[in-house]
Amino acid sequence: MLVKRDTAIHEVDQTAPIGPQVRRALRERIIRNDLKPDQKISESEIAAQYGVSRQPVREAFIRLSDEGLVTILPQRGTRVCRIGLAAVRDARFIRESIEADITRLLADGQGADHVDEFRGLIDAQRRAADTDPVEFIRADEAFHRAMADAVGKGGLWRKVQSLKSQMDRVRFLALGQFPVRKLIDQHAAIVDGIAAGDADGAEVALRHHLREVLSDLPHIVRTNPDFFDAATDGAEDQIVKLKGGETV
């Protein structure tokens, strides 16, 4: 198949595997809500946008379907999925369980040599907070990934990333609605606990932080109803505002 790369509007590295690049690019566009729920996307359209053949696009669609981001409809194409609240809550639960243990390992001694690195990443968040919300989220991701890497759990973090895509979509919807400086202060509290060797305090700060991120979920659902699965209609009123030791 002849591919017209000169008409592509998104670039890919032709020297690297194409399929994973297309998947990552589409995943980010869905998470950032550039591709909206219920929007139909076709193999031919995406292939033209990236200047690639349809085969890597087809592979990307399959992977995104496994992640719950798109639905492949035989003979009818592919559409972007709505956000399911159950998936959001499950992702928060799994992520919190894993990161709580990572935080304890860091506070128990494995994080002593990484405190300056963590604080540097928090400084990057402060620089992005008032000017570039997307860059802030990237800096936020880098902070949590660095904590996992510091205890040799980088591979586990990559698995967490694939599980929390729906949670990340909510985070982008919430941009501008949640006080970013508050999140940064929560990151600082986590690092303070790690630096002090206070495993209990660091874990409490981490759990509070991850629950606070979704504390405004009912409002986000009400103000963006077209983004959420119809099965969640009314469910936002039943969501527990996660504080302290409360769980969903």
Q: What is the pLDDT of residues 77-109, one digit of tens each?
A: 899 999 999 999 999 999 999 999 999 999 999
- What's the pLDDT score for residue 6? 46
Angle at 218 between CA 239 and CA 187, to 5 degrees: 90
Q: What is the mean pLDDT of residues 143-169?
A: 92
Q: What is the pTM for the complete model shown?
A: 0.82
Q: Which of 60, 68, 22 is nearest to 165 (CA)?
A: 68
- What's the pLDDT score for residue 215? 81
What are the structural domains, with CATH classification, of the chain? 5-80 (1.10.10.10), 85-238 (1.20.120.530)
Q: pLDDT > 70: what percent of the chain?
A: 88
- What's the pLDDT score for residue 232? 53
| Average confidence score pLDDT of the chain | 86
Q: Which residue has the tokens 């606990």?
A: 193
Per-residue model confidence as pLDDT tens digits over 160-195: 888 899 999 998 888 766 678 899 999 999 999 999
Q: Is the dihedral of CA 201, 204, 210, 213 positive or negative?
A: negative
More confident residue, 132 or 144: 144
Are 13 and 51 in contact by the 8 Å Cβ rule? The answer is no
Report which DSSP code applies to 6: G
How many whole angstroms from its chain centre is CA 62? 19
- 212 pLDDT band, cuts 50/70/90, is confident
Q: What is the mean pLDDT of residues 138-154?
A: 95
pLDDT at 240 over 50: no
pLDDT at 247 over 80: no
